[in-house]
């Protein structure tokens, strides 16, 4: 039952101007004609005529007086801006004084779900636009998207309703998840900024209430913040899903199982399909395409709230970047029915081994490539000058074996190489100068690269390795293979490592707990630090006879350990080509391509020119807002395209929503949260326009009547 209508005034003190209505009355009384009685025989004829018209004249004078008084009364009423409240479903405008409304529209990709041919985002924009259209002149709006990161579309309260409507109509799906905590931060800022200008503010959120967004958790504590906000701002939340059960099946993973991908080697491909609905999906078609050509299909049964795998085996006959695309049939949410994978295929993995003294890198090179004519890994041994003379970006990994010291220029080159995705492995030994390493590569240096600080040489007897329960990927291969000898390798000398960086991880330790191998991510690449030597040539010559640092290079566990190190370092190579929406695209520039230029083709076929200067070492593109394939082609002959796959985050594929009533229960305890859905809402009807129109009409009427009555007097 609708609430009774109530009168209110935006500026009630202006009603005092209604006292001006007495002015016409006072003027009328002041201007009355005074007369004297004089006996004159002829006046009897004049009095007889006046008596005949006296009634008509009195009516005309009172009518004009009433109109003039009413004009002033209505003018004062209009200035006070009267509002009649409590009507439902009546098209009208917002109550005065002006209200600041913060519109928050969910643009996460779950809002692309279609029902009855309309997306959730379209419904949200339509309802938000209706609020703007019904607003009164002077009401202001700001606009924020609920996304990750949220975007403030209109950051200052705007009274231009046409401009606000235009911005609402321009909103598109962000292809991202929703970050409610960050969005509330923007809301709090907008409300605080406008509180001095607007006595009344309201927040209206339009969302499908996805559980992954609206679940209160330690990382997303929004309830307390919204409750506090609701004491200052009227909060409204519209559930766009309208209780419609949303079924969705998505491709949540597309991956290869091979450690490395080389020409002519079979590659195992896995596609994970997840059913987020409460109904089983039978014979769901899963198709796989390679470089745009379909190579196979599988049919899988996916139980409710479960996953299924489709497996394929493919072979690449040409080196270069190749693109895999997995697809399933369309449903209500089409965005997550496809997934892409960029696979860099090489003839071999190239590794550069640099010794600090003769033969210091020979054992590493031999372990990686025992057959010098063939192999999945090509290991090259070069002098220390190679750090500056070679293009390090042509190698997946660089081993620095027992190098005494590095110059500032060499440290800078290595830092740039790792930041852009390269892998560097420092192996220590008898000629290493710890202070020089800490000075050029330590955490306080300009080219910080080491994951730990180098200290004194430990020479207190024989030590062995501790695999730390084989938890790290470097040692996982040795789990259950104790006879490989990893834990029995004798180590007599090593450099003590401490002050590990925050991102550093100990992959292998000594039996006394000291780190033996430490790894850390630096930029897009990775650094490994081995505390001992990888060559028997490293000796402690202060003793007689000299004592080798370790027998690691002669142990059967040495070759697989070196292979695992290379694989661990280069495993990021595939990851660097496969990104999530919003991740920056980075491609190292070969040294030979100074002032390089290229063309980046986006998934929507739009082309962007990429230019660099001498000081830039990589192409970078951060506006990866579309899922699909990004292809970069460098200008010049003999260049091959570099491809990047950008995929949606999988969180929004689960369309399960929280109950609106659960939010109402929370906010009813202390706030003013108003949860609404599509339908009639109570509206306020302003009457100031009606009052002003009446004033204008009465002015015209008074002018016409006064002229007409004046002529009749003559």
| 626 and 553, same domain (yes or no) | no
Q: Verify that 481 and 465 share a domain, yes or no.
A: yes
In a domain, 239, yes or no: no
Domain count of the chain?
Answer: 5
Quick one: 134 and 215 in the same domain? Answer: yes
Give the pLDDT confidence score for residue 3 in this predicted structure: 43
The pLDDT of residue 674 is 53
Average pLDDT of the segment spanning 231-237 = 87
**What's the Rg (C-alpha) of the chain?**
40
Closest CA to 269 of 248, 245, 295: 295
Kindly state the average pLDDT of the residues 590-613.
Answer: 80
652 in a structural domain:
no
Give the mean pLDDT of the chain. 85
648, 336 contact by CB (below 8 A): yes
Residue 336 forms part of a structural domain: yes
Q: How far apart are the first and last CA of the chain?
A: 60
Within-domain flag for 536 = yes
pLDDT for 623 equals: 92
Please report whether residue 235 resides in a domain.
no
Answer yes or no: do 306 and 360 share one domain: no
Instruction: Please name which of 364, 668, 657 lies closest in space to residue 537, comparing C-alpha atoms.
Output: 364
pLDDT band at 290 (very low <50, low <70, confident <90, very high): very high
Tell me how far apart the alpha carbons of residues 500 and 675 are, in angstroms, rounded to a whole number: 51
Q: Are residues 328 and 315 in the same domain?
A: yes
- Dist CA 534 CA 478 (whole Å): 19
pLDDT tens digits, residue range 119-137?
Answer: 999 999 999 999 999 998 8
The verdict on residue 242 lying in a domain is no
For the cut 50, the answer to whether the pLDDT of residue 626 exceeds it is yes
- pLDDT-derived band at 46 (thresholds 50, 70, 90) equals low
Same domain, 101 and 64: no
Query: Is the confidence at residue 710, as pLDDT, over 80?
Result: no
Q: Kindly state whether residues 306 and 372 are assigned to the same domain.
A: no
Domain of 626 in residue numbering reads as 578-647
CA distances from 381 to 364, 401, 682 (A): 9, 11, 80
Full-model pTM: 0.73
Tokens 């796989």 identify what position? 288
C-alpha to C-alpha distance for 285 and 337, rounded to whole angstroms:
11
**Given this model, what pLDDT does residue 591 score?**
61
Closest among 473, 356, 368 to 426, alpha carbons compared: 356
What's the CATH number where 624 sits?
Answer: 2.60.40.10
pLDDT at 566 over 80: yes
158 lies in the same domain as 51: no
Q: Please report which confidence band the pLDDT of residue 669 belongs to, taking 50, 70 and 90 as the band edges.
A: very low
d(CA 142, CA 132): 11
Query: How does pLDDT run across 480-529, given as a tens digit for each residue?
Result: 887 788 999 999 999 999 988 888 999 999 999 999 999 999 988 899 99
Q: Higher confidence at residue 689 or residue 629? A: 629
Q: Which of 215, 6, 1 is nearest to 684 (CA)?
A: 6
Do residue 411 and residue 496 come from a single domain?
Answer: yes
What CATH number did the domain enclosing 192 receive? 3.40.50.410
Residue 394: inside a domain, yes or no? Answer: yes
424 within a domain of the structure (yes/no): yes
| 472 and 436 part of one domain | yes
What whole-number percentage of the chain has pLDDT above 70? 83
Same structural domain for residues 45 and 189? no
Do 360 and 272 fall into the same domain? Answer: no
Per-residue b or e along 503-531, where b marks 16 or more CB atoms closer than 10 Å to that residue's CB:
ebbbbbbbeeebbbbbbbebbbbbbbbbb
């Amino acid at each position: 039952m609708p609430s009774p209508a109530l009168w209110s005034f935006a500026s009630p003190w202006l009603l005092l101007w209604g006292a001006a209505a007495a002015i016409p009355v006072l003027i009328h009384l002041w201007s009355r004609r005074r007369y004297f009685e004089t006996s004159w025989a002829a006046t009897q004829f004049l009095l007889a005529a006046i008596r005949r018209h006296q009634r008509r004249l009195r009516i005309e004078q009172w009518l004009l007086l009433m109109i003039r008084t009413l004009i002033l009364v209505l003018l004062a009423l209009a200035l006070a801006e009267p509002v009649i409240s409590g009507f439902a479903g009546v098209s009208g405008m917002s109550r005065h004084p002006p209200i600041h409304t913060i519109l928050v529209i969910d643009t996460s990709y779950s809002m692309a779900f279609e029902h009855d041919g309309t997306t959730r985002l379209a419904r949200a924009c339509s309802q938000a636009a209706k609020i703007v259209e019904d607003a009164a002149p002077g009401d202001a709006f700001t606009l924020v998207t609920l996304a990750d990161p949220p975007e403030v579309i209109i950051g200052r309260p705007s009274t231009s309703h046409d401009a606000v409507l235009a911005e609402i109509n321009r909103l598109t799906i962000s292809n991202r998840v929703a970050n409610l905590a960050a969005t509330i931060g923007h809301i709090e800022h907008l409300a605080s900024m406008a509180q001095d200008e607007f006595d009344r503010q309201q927040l209206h959120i339009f969302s499908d209430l996805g559980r992954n967004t609206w679940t209160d958790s330690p990382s997303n504590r929004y309830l307390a913040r919204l409750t506090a906000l609701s004491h200052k701002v009227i909060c409204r939340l519209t559930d766009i899903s309208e209780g419609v059960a949303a079924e969705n099946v998505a491709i949540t993973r597309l991956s290869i199982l091979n450690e490395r991908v080389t020409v002519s080697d079979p590659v195992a491909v896995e596609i994970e399909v997840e059913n987020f609905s409460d109904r089983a999906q039978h014979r769901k078609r899963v198709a796989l395409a390679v470089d745009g050509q379909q190579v196979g299909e599988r049919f899988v049964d996916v139980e409710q709230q479960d996953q299924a795998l489709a497996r394929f085996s493919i072979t690449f006959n040409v080196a270069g970047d190749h693109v895999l695309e997995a697809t399933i049939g369309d449903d209500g949410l089409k965005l997550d029915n496809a997934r892409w994978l960029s696979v860099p295929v090489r003839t071999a993995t190239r590794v550069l081994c640099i010794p600090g003294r003769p033969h210091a890198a020979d054992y590493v090179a031999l372990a990686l490539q025992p057959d010098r004519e063939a192999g999945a890994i090509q290991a090259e041994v070069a002098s220390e000058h190679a750090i500056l003379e070679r293009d390090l970006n042509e190698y997946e990994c660089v081993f620095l074996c027992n190098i005494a010291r590095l110059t500032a220029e060499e440290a800078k080159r290595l830092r740039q190489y790792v930041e852009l995705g390269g892998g560097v492995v420092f192996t220590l030994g008898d000629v290493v100068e710890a202070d020089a390493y800490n000075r050029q590569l330590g955490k306080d240096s300009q080219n910080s690269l080491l994951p730990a600080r180098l200290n004194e040489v430990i020479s207190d007897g024989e030590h062995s390795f501790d695999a730390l329960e084989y938890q790290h990927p470097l040692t996982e291969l040795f789990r259950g293979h104790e006879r490989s000898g990893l834990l029995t390798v004798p180590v007599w000398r090593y450099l003590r490592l401490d002050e590990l960086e925050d991102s550093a991880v100990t992959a292998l330790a000594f039996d006394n707990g000291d780190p033996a191998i430490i790894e850390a991510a630096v930029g897009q690449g990775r650094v490994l630090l081995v505390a001992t030597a990888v060559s028997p040539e490293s000796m402690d010559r202060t003793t007689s006879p000299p004592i080798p640092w370790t027998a690691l290079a002669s142990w059967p566990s040495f070759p697989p350990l070196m292979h695992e190190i290379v694989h661990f370092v280069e495993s990021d190579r595939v990851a660097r080509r496969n990104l999530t929406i919003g991740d920056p695209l980075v491609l190292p520039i070969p040294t030979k391509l100074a002032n390089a230029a290229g063309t980046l083709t986006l998934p929507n076929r739009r082309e962007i020119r990429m230019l660099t200067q001498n000081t830039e070492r990589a192409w970078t593109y951060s506006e990866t807002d579309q899922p699909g394939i990004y292809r970069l082609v460098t200008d010049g002959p003999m260049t091959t395209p570099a491809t990047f796959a950008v995929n949606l985050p999988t969180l929004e594929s689960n369309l399960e929503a929280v109950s609106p009533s659960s939010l109402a229960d929370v906010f009813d305890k202390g706030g003013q949260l108003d949860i609404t859905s599509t339908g009639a809402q109570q509206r306020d009807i302003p009457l100031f326009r009606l009052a002003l129109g009446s004033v204008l009409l009465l002015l015209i009427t008074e002018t016409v009547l006064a002229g007409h009555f004046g002529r009749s007097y003559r």
